[in-house]
Amino acid sequence: MSSPPIKIGMLGGTFDPVHHGHLRSALEVREALGLDRLHMIPAPKPPLRGAPQVSAEQRLALLNAGIGDTPGLYADDRELRREGPSYSIDTLAQLRAEYGEQARLVMVIGFDAFLRLHQWYRAGDLFSLAHVVVMARPGYQMPWTSELRELVGECEVESVDSLMQYPNGGLLTLSLPSMMAISATYIRQRLREGKSIHYLLPNAVEEAIRENGFYQHFSQHDE
């Protein structure tokens, strides 16, 4: 009897810095989808944003500190090692090549990121490589735009079981149990204002931020 196909997730982001909104969602989405592994992948310089204030390597170090030894979550530096702009489609193609044709490959994104999915590089090809799972995020309840409807087409499915029947090509929206209204923007703002960030992110990440004096000065990125 052949073994069931491996289930792999990818959660890309700036992680500037990683916080409990990312980490709790990562853990819960892994659980909900039964993923063997969730790759959390910092982008060196996200194509749709300004330059982050803290370097990509430092954001990766914070991500590693945040994940610690959490089973199934993995801080993946592949986009930092890549030359040129970093696009999710290239990352998914790499993961597909590594895990094989039968692997269930899922790109996980928050609803705020999903709202701009049609603007991503080669957005129309994403579904030929992976499924897309959209996590609800507090504060983002707006209806899908016509561009998004067109992009998603007939891909939408209603359950994890339907999604996992195929290696790619489905879209599922999920409301995870512990939705958190935490954002990295809010954390950077509080640090600039000298306010507490306790309980918004793991202690190890808070300590590293304090030790290195990260995010304490105003930058153009936060204008």
Does position 13 bind ligand ATP by CB under 6 A? yes
Judged by beta carbon, residue 29 or residue 157, the one nearer ligand ATP is 29
CB 193 to ligand ATP: min, Å: 15
Judged by beta carbon, residue 184 or residue 209, the one nearer ligand ATP is 184
Does position 184 bind ligand ATP by CB under 6 A? yes
Distances (CA, A) of 162 to 35, 46, 67, 158, 171: 15, 32, 30, 7, 10
Site for ligand ATP in 20-49 (CB under 6 A): 21-22, 25
Q: Which of 74, 180, 190, 219 binds ligand ATP (CB under 6 A)?
A: 180
DSSP string across 91-146: HHHHHHHHH-TTSEEEEEEEHHHHTTGGGSTTGGGHHHH-EEEEE-BTTB-PPPPH
Judged by beta carbon, residue 73 or residue 135, the one nearer ligand ATP is 135
Does position 113 bind ligand ATP by CB under 6 A? yes
Distances (CA, A) of 216 to 193, 209, 212, 219: 8, 9, 10, 9
Beta bridge partner(s), residue 173: 134
Nearest to 10 by CA among 51, 44, 39: 39
CB 189 to ligand ATP: min, Å: 9
Judged by beta carbon, residue 88 or residue 168, the one nearer ligand ATP is 88
Q: Which of 10, 15, 89, 206 binds ligand ATP (CB under 6 A)?
A: 15
CB 59 to ligand ATP: min, Å: 9
Distances (CA, A) of 96 to 6, 103, 121, 182: 11, 7, 18, 31
Does position 58 bind ligand ATP by CB under 6 A? no
